[in-house]
Amino acid sequence: MRIATCFVNNVFLNNSTWTVIRNSIRNTWLTRTCSSKASYDQDRSQKFETVFSFPFVRHIATLNRMKLYHIMGTSLAVPGCGLLETLSVLPEYSFVAASYIGVTGAILFSLASLPLNNAIGFLYISEDNKQIKISSVDFWGRRRDRIVSANEWTPLLDMKPKTMDAIYLSPELTDGTKYKLFIKFGKVLNSIKMGQVIE
């Protein structure tokens, strides 16, 4: 009978040993996949009602994404300008000019998008008012959905007034995560439910 072997990390494994390892890896993967799918299905089974929407969140996401595109373009343009300058294709100081434009542009985009970090686009509240689903935009323009308990949300009326309250509110979770809620520029779809849970 022919025995197949596999060379892994300087160790020869025969057919039966390799089958045991392969089955162990498969069972671990299935366990992780099933548990994550169960939690995902549990979150989907819960019914949430949209209580707030901010229509300009797409513009904020685009602005935050522009920073990433600019940094990627700069990382390609600066070495290219340096190479073309050494080959005398571009005039002198092209590398310095490209570096200056790239760095200052990245700084300006970062400063412009910093106040818009974690801007809330949508707020959802569960039927039993025990959970809040926060849909926000992060520093790089990606959507982040997070489901938290209503007890983790610090009520807005309990927070100290801030100078930026005229533009946006700054809700905070118990773990220290801060968001920006543009309530004056957004649409409150269910003020009663929203007031019961987050105020």
Q: What are the extents of the domains in the chain?
A: 48-56+118-198, 59-115
Given a contact cutoff of 8 angstroms between Cβ atoms, the answer to whether 51 and 189 are in contact is: yes
Q: Is the pTM of this model over 0.95?
A: no
The CA-to-CA distance between both ends of the chain, in Å, stands at 74
pLDDT tens series, the chain, 199 aa:
444 444 444 444 455 554 545 555 555 444 444 444 444 444 555 789 999 999 999 999 998 999 889 999 999 999 999 999 899 888 988 899 999 999 999 999 899 888 888 999 999 999 888 999 999 999 999 999 999 998 999 888 888 888 888 888 889 998 889 999 998 899 999 888 888 888 7
* Reduced DSSP (H G I as helix, E B as strand, rest coil) percent helix, strand, coil of the chain, to 5: 50, 20, 25
User: Looking at the DSSP assignment, which residues form a beta bridge with residue 126?
Assistant: 48
Contacts of 73 (CB under 8 A, 6+ apart): 102
Contacts of 76 (CB under 8 A, 6+ apart): none
